[in-house]
Every structure is written in C-alpha cells, then in structure tokens.
Chains A and B, each alone.
Chain A
Amino acid sequence: MTAFAPRRLSTTALIHLALAAVLAVGGAAVALDGGNLFATANLVDMLTRTSLTGFLAIGMTLVILCRSLDLSVGYVAALSSLVAATTMDGQAANVPLAVALVLLVSGLVGAANGAIVAFLKVNPFIATLGTGLILKGYLDTEYQGPAGDVPAVFQQFGYTRIAFVPVSALVMLAVAAAAIGFLRSTRTGHHMYAVGGDVDVARMSGIRTTRVLLTAHVLCGMCAGLAGLLLAARFGTGSAEAYTNLYELDAIAAVVLGGTLLLGGKGGVAGTVAGVAILAVLDSVFNVMQIDPFAKDVLRGAVIIAAVALYARRQLDRTARRPRFAATPRRPS
C-alpha cells in the first residue's frame, strides 16, 4: 500500500493547489467587484454549502472507488429527512431514536443497492437509478407535502456555528477524517481500491469482492442518511421535494473534481473534500458577485469538464510510464 502513497498524495496536492487558486482568483474577482469574499458572512455561506454535498460526496467516493455508482443518494436523503422529522415529531427525547432509525433505513437502502449490484450483477448505473425511481414513487405517493416536526435541539445541527465554522461542516469533516482513516488503514478500505482496480484480480487474490461492494454501498447509503438528517435540521421538517435538486449529480461532480477516477481504484476522500470545497467556493463567488443563476450552471459544467480534462492529461503521462503489459513488475518506491 505504501507504493500508492506518493501518487495519491501528488494528485491530492494538485487538487488542494487548485482549491487555493480558485480561492485566490475568486477573492480577487470579488475584491475588484468591491466586495470581500473572506468576510464572515461569506465564509459561513461557503462552509455551509460544503456540508450537504460533502456528506453525499464522501459516501459516493467509496462506491466510485469500487467502480460502482450511486444515483439514488438524493432520494435516500429526502427519505431520511422524512424518517427523521416524523420520528422526532417535535420531541427532543426522540432524537437518538430518529438518528438510529435514519442510519438503519439509509443503510438498508444502500444494502439493497449493493446486493443488486453484487449478486444480481446489474450495472450500478441501472441498479441505483432503479432504486432511486422506486424511492421516488414511494415518496410521491406517501408524502404530498412536508411532514413531521424537528425539535429546536436538533435544528441546532443545521444552524449553530463555532466562530464562523458551522457545526454541520465540522461533522462533515469528522466523517471525512473517519473515511480517510478507513480507506488508509483498514483491510476493507484497501480491498476497495483492489476491487475498483480490477474485480477479477481482486477475487482471484482471495478478496470477497461482493462483501466489499456491499460495505461500500451500505456506507454510501448511511452518508446519504446523514445528509438527510442535515436537511431535516435545516428545514425543520421532512421534505420529499429535496430530491429535485439532483444532489447525486453534484456529489459525482465533486468526487470526480476531487481526482477520484470514475473507473474506480484510484482517488480518495481528501481529494473529494477539496472538490466539494471548490464547487462551494465557486457558488459563493457567483452569489456574492450576483451572477445570473443560469450562468452558474454553464460555468459549473465548463469547470467540471476542464478539470477532468486536466487530470486526464496527467493520467496519460502516468500510463505512458506504466505500460499495461509491462514485462517487469513495477518496483514499489
């Protein structure tokens, strides 16, 4: 595993440099416009934006590393917000139960995704699109409007901040740290890279690939559950409408922007967090400069393509150094 460290570090370093550049350019642009990107209100806005996409993107990183995908996270988050709000029902005492129930439900949806992908061999794109549609049908039928009531204690999760750092962003960073630790120093974490790199080789090396895939999907579902808890805390109620925001595409964009290969086997959560931050900074800059919201989508699309084209260029150099049918095995450095 140490062989991977220098490469992963360098990609992550590049993304953090990109984040710094985006911050600098954004700050300069806002300053020219007569504003201050680093004013407290703007910093709070930026960090608040990171937490929701952050939860989803951390889980998404795990499944993408395994060469899978999860298009159902937006629906899982919406379902989780409803489960949380209806279980709490305005009672502070119900909070622990609600959190546990959300993690259970979202984990189960993740397990269903993982089982369909791993055992039924359905392409993850189709499998998770399908479970997403099933959830959408359930949500639209059962909940016509907002439901449930989140007690003030739990709404703190959405609004409290320490200095200019929202608690939700801190929790997201803690989850990110846990995920980094999980990928770097647990056996299952290492197996995820192996499964994403080449599932057949992984299986022949004695890794129980289906179990690894299942774990990744369960964790991804639970991350979406956390995002749902945050949605409930922010809105003060559960809302089925949350899925219309296409969070899953945002999360995938952040993961890819963070340098994780969509084809699996390479990348990490540290890059993903930077990817989420880049998107959040861009959004904040557009907001402060009052750029037309539709121009935001155009710029976003262009930035994502440009970034991935840049990574692909680096990737090309690397494959040139590491031919596919190399006669001699690569020496670990």
Chain B
Amino acid sequence: MTRVRALGAALQGAGTVFLLLALTFAAIAVVNPGFFEAPSVMAFLKQAAPLVVLAAGQYFVVVSGNFDLSVGALVGAQVVIAARLIDGVESRTVPVMLVMLAFGIGVGLVNGLITTVLKVQSFITTLGMLLVLYGAIRLWTGGAPTGDLSEAFRTPGRLGITGVPLIGQIPWALLIMLAVGAGAILLMRTRFGRILIASGDNELAARLSGARVDAVRTAAFVLSGISATIAGVLIGGFAGVSAQVGEGLEFTVITAVVLGGVALGGGRGTALAAMAGALAIEALFTLFNQMALPATLRPAVQGAIIIAAVAYAARRRLRPAPQPTAAPS
C-alpha cells in the first residue's frame, strides 16, 4: 500500500522535472548537436556532480520538514579549511579529509540539535549557522583564504579513470555522484527513510505512532553536513580555493530539490527526483552557455523557469483534489 502510494506520488511530483530535463537536453541538442559526444557529456556530469550530491543531502532535510540554508557557507568553509590545513603537503590529504568530515558532521549535528531540542525553526537555525560560518571562516583566515590544496585532494573533483573504450575518461566525480545517489535512494527505502517522510508529512501522527522524529530529523541535518563535505571536496578540486566558494549555493540547491517535486514543508517527493532537479538546473546553465546568453540575463531566465515549473507542478498536484472554493461572505 505504502509502496503503491509512494510510486504514485513519485510519478506525480517528479513528472515535471523529468519533462524539464528532457526538454532542456532537447534544446541543447538543437543548439549544439555536438554536445552529446562522450567527452562533453562527461565534462557536464563532472561539473554537475557537486550540486547533485548537495541535492541528495538537502533532500533528507527538506523531506523531513526542514530547511538547510547553511550548506553554501559550509561548502565554502570546508574548502578554506582544506586549503589552510593541507597547505600543499600531500601526506596530510587523508587526515584533513577526516577533519573535514568531522566538521561537516559537527555542523549538521549542531543544526539538528538546535532545531529539534531548542525548537528553533530550521530556517532561523541554519540562517544563523550561515552567518556564524561565514564570519568565523573569514575571522580565522583574516579575510582571504590562505594555503594550498594537494594533488591528491584535487583528484576526485578533477580527474577520472582514463583509457575507457568508447567513453574515454570516467570522472571520479561521476562515480561519487552515482554512489551518493544510490546510497540516498537505498537509505530512503529503509525504516529510517520511511520515518523521515512520515515526520515531514505529519509530525504529530509520526510521534504518536512512536517514531523518533527528533532523532531522524537530526540525522537528516548530519547527512546534509556530510553531503556538503563531499561537495566541498569536489568543488575545491574542480574550481580551486577562493573566498566566494559556495556563496548562494544554498538557494540553488533548494531550488533544485523543489524543482524535483519535493514539497517544502516535507512529506512528499523522492531522492531520485531531487537529484534530477539538480541535474536539470545544471543542464539549464549549460543551455544558457550554449546559447551564449548574456551572463547577466541568466538569473532572470532561471527565476522565470523555477516559478513556472513549480506552478506547473502545483497545478498537477491540485487537480485530482480541487480545493473547496471560498463561500462568499
């Protein structure tokens, strides 16, 4: 029963995003038929991987009925921490990655505990965390990031398995993205995943049926922190170190998740569709590039498409059960 309903909900909410994805790829094919050759597709996936990983993390938080606005600042913090601690020394790569993982888990845990134990709305918790991380990192580095990443650190974001027949190079980022995606989808099929959705759908009902709502919600924030850490490694390797890394990423990733048909407020949507939403956003950016749109106009088109896509999804959702119309007073 739950499986059937979940499938129905998935198809209903996710239809829009797969349609959008198909349309965007079709448009890219029209503008630049050469895009669908292995190297450029692989390059596209490599670039899209961090956002997809972040979308998986954000999905857990959103579906349980919360927000995580701190991921952009956390990604920035992780990259800056990596550069400062590694400082170009190869042998420090793995220990520093472990420190970053601990930091990501710690930030997620703090977000989760403040939200669940102190009952602060997650919008405010993570907004505060955004400010704290933003200020703390600049305070620590004195305004400009210092240090250097090691070659080994850059490998996951930049390189891949070379010499594969037909395809050429399979980027590590793609493999990481697939692993995270598979992990997220599998996790949502476990008891944990079902409790997570139940908590977002109807908190009171979930509590009364004995679900440990606070525990799974805190775990969702921790998963988001871990995803930001992985994304930080990928982005740091791919794009390098700067003070602006991660800025505004939180809005892009929430947009991606919502584009995937995941309802803000929780309880509806699938991990697969959320990650497809991230892919759709990256595909849109690629399309804008291919069309040589003036860079300044991109946000406008992005904004219009988000509103249109979400309005379309809302219309589809509302149609089976139309809202009762207000009686005139």
Contact = CB atoms under 8 A, between A and B. Distances in A.
A317 to B, nearest CB: 11
A271 to B, nearest CB: 15
Contact of B204 (A130, A132, A209, A324): A324
Contact of A295 (B121, B139, B264): B139
A121 B120 contact: no
Interface in B114-131: 114, 118-121, 123-125, 127-131
B210 interface: no
B329 A262 contact: no
B119 A294 contact: no
B136 A298 contact: yes
A122 B311 contact: yes
Interface stretch (B14-22, B23-31, B300-308): B300-308
A301 interface: yes
Nearest to A263: B121
A304 B263 CA distance: 26
Given A209-B326, A294-B138, A301-B132, A312 B311 contact: no
Most buried by A among B118, B124, B258, B311: B124
Interface of A: 116, 120-123, 125-127, 129-138, 140-141, 203-204, 206-209, 249, 252-253, 256, 262-263, 292, 294-302, 304-305, 308-309, 312-313, 315-316, 324
B310 interface: yes
A66 to B, nearest CB: 15
A133 B124 contact: no
Interface residues of B, number: 50
B307 A122 contact: yes
Contacts of A126: 255, 258, 264, 306-307, 310
Nearest to B121: A262
B165 interface: no
Nearest to A123: B264
Given A129-B251, A206-B329, A262 B123 contact: yes
B139 A133 contact: no
Most buried by B among A123, A295, A305: A305
B8 to A, nearest CB: 20
A35 B129 CA distance: 31
B131 A133 contact: no
Contact of A292 (B139, B255, B265): B139
A130 B307 CA distance: 6
A42 B178 CA distance: 56
B133 to A, nearest CB: 8
